[in-house]
Structure 1
Amino acid sequence: MVTLPLRFVPVLLAALAACAPAAPPAVMLTQPGDTFTYAGNPLIRDRHTADPAPLVVGGRLYLYVGHDEARGDQMFNITQWLAYSTTDMRTWTYHGPVMRPTDFAWAARDAWASQVIEKDGRFWFYTTVEHDPAQGSSGKAVGVAMADNPLGPFTDARGSALIRNEDTQGPHSWDDIDPTVWTEADGTTWLFWGNAELKMAPLATDMTHLAGPIRTIELPDFEEGPWIFERQGTYYLAYASMDKAIHPDERISYATALAITGPWTWRGQITGAAANSFTIHPGVVEFQGEWYLFYHVGTLDVGDQPGGLGRRAVAVERLRFGPDGAILPVEQTARGILSLP
C-alpha cells in the first residue's frame, strides 16, 4: 500500500471532484404572480406540466395544466392543477395551484386532464381523479368544481362524482377520464369524455348532473383526450388516437360534424406523436383572431429529473385551416409561435 504525504491530499481531492459528475443546476421556480416570456417550446420550463386546457375570458387566455411530479421510474404522479395566463401569448403569468384532487372529499389522488368553461357568470371545472374506494367507488371518475372567477378557488360543486366507473360499461377502470365540455347557443351544455370509448351526455342546467342518457361515439382509433370546439358552423372533435401499425405512441386526430350530436366524420391526423412521450393531449382555442393547438411533449429536463412519460411539458403551435375547413397538418417545433407579430 502506498501512503501519500498529507500535502498531496487536497490536490487528490480536488482532482477527484473535477472528475465527478456535475450536479444539475438549481431550478428557479416561478412563484404565483411571477411572469415569464415565451421562449419557444416547451412553453413552461421550470415545472413538468401536462394536459393543457385553454380558456379565453375577455382579452386574457387562461391555461390550466396538470403538474407532473413523477420521479425516477414512477409512471404518473400528478398532484395539482396549475393556472397560467397571458394577454399576448408572449408574456405569461403564473397563478399557482387552483385545485388539488383531495379538494374533492370523495377523491384519493391524481390530477388528470380537465377543462374549465364559463357559463352564466360562473366557471365550471370538469376533471378526472381517482375515486377513494372508502367513499363507495373505485377507478377513475369525473368531478365538477365551481368558482366565481377563472382562478378560483374552485370547490366541489356537488359533493360526489359526476361520472363514476360503475356508470359506464367501459373496458377498464380508467375509461371515464378526460372531460371536454361545450355549450350550445341555446344554452344546452354537453359533456364528452372517455378512454378507449368516447362517451357523451347532456348536462342539466345546474351543470352538476346529467340531463340525459350516456351515448357512445364511434371514432377511428380513439384512445383518449377529446377536445370539442366550433368554427364557422362546423364542430371539431380533436382527440388522442392510437394505431400501432402507424406509430406505437398516441397521435392527435380529428373528426367534424354539422351538429354537436353528430354524426361525426373522421378527417385525419392533426399532428404526430409527441417527442419522448407515449401520451399527447390536445387543447384548442381561438385567441385574438388566431387559432392555437396546445399539447405536451416529454423533452424537458428539470433539475435531476429528465423528461418522459410522467414528466411532460406543455407546448403550443399555430392551428391553421384550409379553404374547405380542414385542419392543416401541424409540425411540432422548438420555435413554436415565436414568429407571432
Structure 2
Amino acid sequence: MITRDQLRIRDPFVLVDPEAGLYVMYGTNGIRGFDAYTSTDLENWDGPIPVLRPEEGFWADRDYWAPEVHLYRGRYYMLASLKAEEACRGTQVFVADSPLGPFRLCGGGPVTPGDWECLDGTLHIDEEGKPWMVFCHEWLQVHDGEMCAVPLDESLERATGEPVLLFKASEAPWSVARHTGIDYITDGPFLFRSGGELLMMWSSFGADGYALGLSRSISGKLAGPWTHDERPLYDKDGGHGMLFRDLRGEWMLTYHTPNGGSLERAVFVPFAAMRAGLAPEG
C-alpha cells in the first residue's frame, strides 16, 4: 500500500470499476512498459501492477508516456505514446480483456503518421458513433504545437483517413512561448460534453509554468472551429488532466503537479469546485 502523496506519477488517467468498487490509475513512471495502481478511496493505492511489458522485437524502446485506457465495445483499449531511436514518437493502441491487462498489441504500429513526432493520443467517439484519435503534433517538429484528429476503423487498429488540424497552441490566449520564443506546446487532450457543448481540456505552458486550459467547439463537433477560454483552469505548474466520475457519482478532475523534479504527484479535485456550472454529461 502506498499513499497518494508518496506515489510519483505523471499524466494520471483513472478508470473507474463501479462493480468492483475500485479506481484503476495509469500514468508515466519512467519504466519500459506500464503499471497500474488500484484504490477504493483515491488516497491509498495498491501496486504497482504490471499491465503492459513490450514483447521481444517490439518497435519502441523508450519514452513510454501517458497511457490512457478506455472501455470500448466490451474490451479495454490502451493508447500510449512511444518512441525509438530510428522512429518518430507515436501513439500505439493496445487491447486487453481486463483493465489490469495484460495489454497486447492492437494493429501493426502507431496510429499517428509515421513521419510526424506525435504524442498523447486520446479516444473520442463522435455523435455518429465513429471513433477518432485526438493527438498532439509536437512543437519539436512544427514549433507551434498542433492539436490534430485522425479517424480510426472500428477495431481501433488503424487510421482510415488523413489527420485534421483542429487548432494550434498559440491560439489560446493563456499559452506562452518557450525556448526560442516561437515554441508553443500542446499536451494531453481530453474531450467531454457539457450542456450539449463539446469541450477539450489540454495543457501547455502559461505565465506561471505548466498549465491546464479549456477549448470549446463552436459547432459541437470535433471539426470545430474551436475557441479558447481566456484563462486556464489551473496555471501553477501542473497539468495533463482528465475527468472521471467517482464512486459516489461526483465528477473529479485529476492532473499531476508539480511538473518536474521527481516530485510529480496525482491531484484529485471535485470538478465543480474548479468550474462552477460546467458539469460533464454521461
TM-score, normalization: structure 2? 0.79
Instruction: String of CA shifts for 1:230-281, please: whole Å, max 9, x gaps.
Output: 23422221111224xx23x22111112222332222123110132xxxx631
Q: Measure how far apart 1:164 and its partner are.
A: 4.2
Aligned residues: 251
Over the matched positions of the two proteins, sequence identity in percent amounts to 24
What is the CA-CA distance between 1:185 and the residue it aligns to? Answer: 5.5
The alpha-carbon deviation at position 130 of structure 1 amounts to 0.7
Other-structure match for 2:122 = 180
**Aligned pairs (5 A) from 1:192-203:** 192-194=134-136, 195=138, 196-203=145-152
Conserved? CA contact 2:78–2:93, under 8 Å: yes
Q: Name the CA distance, whole Å, in 1 between partners of 2:261 and 2:89.
A: 19
Q: 2:68 pairs with 115, 122, 125, which one?
A: 115
Tell me what 1:226 maps to. Answer: 189
Name the one with the larger strand percent: 2
**For the structure 1 residues 100 and 273, does the alpha-carbon distance in structure 2 shift closer, same or farther, using more than 3 Å as the test?**
farther
Instruction: Please say which structure displays the higher CA radius of gyration.
Output: 1
> Which AA in structure 2 matches 1:187?
G
Q: Report 1 or 2 for greater relative contact order, CA contacts < 8 Å, sequence distance ≥ 6.
A: 1
Alpha carbons 1:53, 1:115 under 8 Å: kept: yes
Q: Deviations over 1:192-250 (max 9, x none)?
A: 1113111111211111111222011114235212111223422221111224xx23x22
2:27 corresponds, among 65, 76, 90, to 65
CA contact (8 A) 1:104 1:156 kept: no
Contact 2:38 2:47 in 1 (8 A): yes
Aligned CA distance change for structure 1 residues 260 and 62 (closer, same or farther; 3 Å)? farther
**2:8 pairs with 1:48:** yes
Q: Which whole-Å deviations, capped at 9, do the CAs of 1:274-328 have from their partners, x for residues lacking one?
A: 2xxxx631122222321212111249xxxxxxxx3455222222211323x389x
Q: 1:85 is matched with which residue?
A: 38
In structure 1, stretches of 5+ residues that fail to align are: 1-34, 69-77, 169-174, 300-307, 328-341
- Alpha-carbon distance between aligned partners in 2 of 1:104 and 1:242, rounded to the nearest angstrom: 36
Structure 2 partner of 1:296: 256
| 1:251–1:271 Cα contact (<8 Å) kept | yes
Amino acid at match of 1:295: Y
TM-score (norm 1): 0.66
In the alignment, is the contact (CA less than 8 A) between 2:166 and 2:223 conserved in 1? Answer: no
Give the alignment's Cα RMSD to 1 decimal: 2.6
CA distance in 2, matches of 1:238, 1:98: 26
CA deviation profile, 1:145-171 (whole Å, cap 9, x unmatched): 1101111000111132222440x4xxx
Answer whether contact 1:143 1:160 (CA < 8 A) is retained: yes
User: How do residues 1-341 of structure 1 correspond to structure 2 at under 5 angstroms?
Assistant: 35-36=1-2, 43-45=4-6, 47-59=7-19, 60-68=22-30, 78-100=31-53, 105-133=58-86, 138-166=87-115, 168=116, 175-184=117-126, 186-194=128-136, 195=138, 196-218=145-167, 219-220=171-172, 221=175, 223-243=186-206, 246-247=207-208, 249-257=209-217, 258-267=220-229, 268-274=231-237, 280-287=239-246, 288-298=248-258, 308-309=260-261, 312-320=264-272, 321-323=275-277, 325=278
Q: 1:75 matched to which residue of 2?
A: none
Residues 86/261 of structure 1: CA separation in 2 closer, same or farther (3 Å cut): farther
Aligned counterparts of 1:96 and 1:251: Cα–Cα separation in 2: 29
Distance 1:315 1:322, change over 3 A: closer
Alpha-carbon separation, structure 2, partners of 1:104 and 1:285: 35
Counterpart of 1:182 in structure 2: which amino acid? Answer: H
Which letter maps to 1:61? Y
Letter paired with 1:315: V
Gapped regions of structure 2 (runs ≥ 5): 139-144, 176-184
Q: Which amino acid aligns with 1:119?
A: Y
Task: Say whether the 8 Å CA contact 2:108–2:157 is kept in structure 1.
Answer: no
SS of the residue aligned with 2:165? Answer: strand
Q: What secondary structure sits across from 1:52 in the alignment?
A: strand
Local SS of the residue matching 1:106: coil
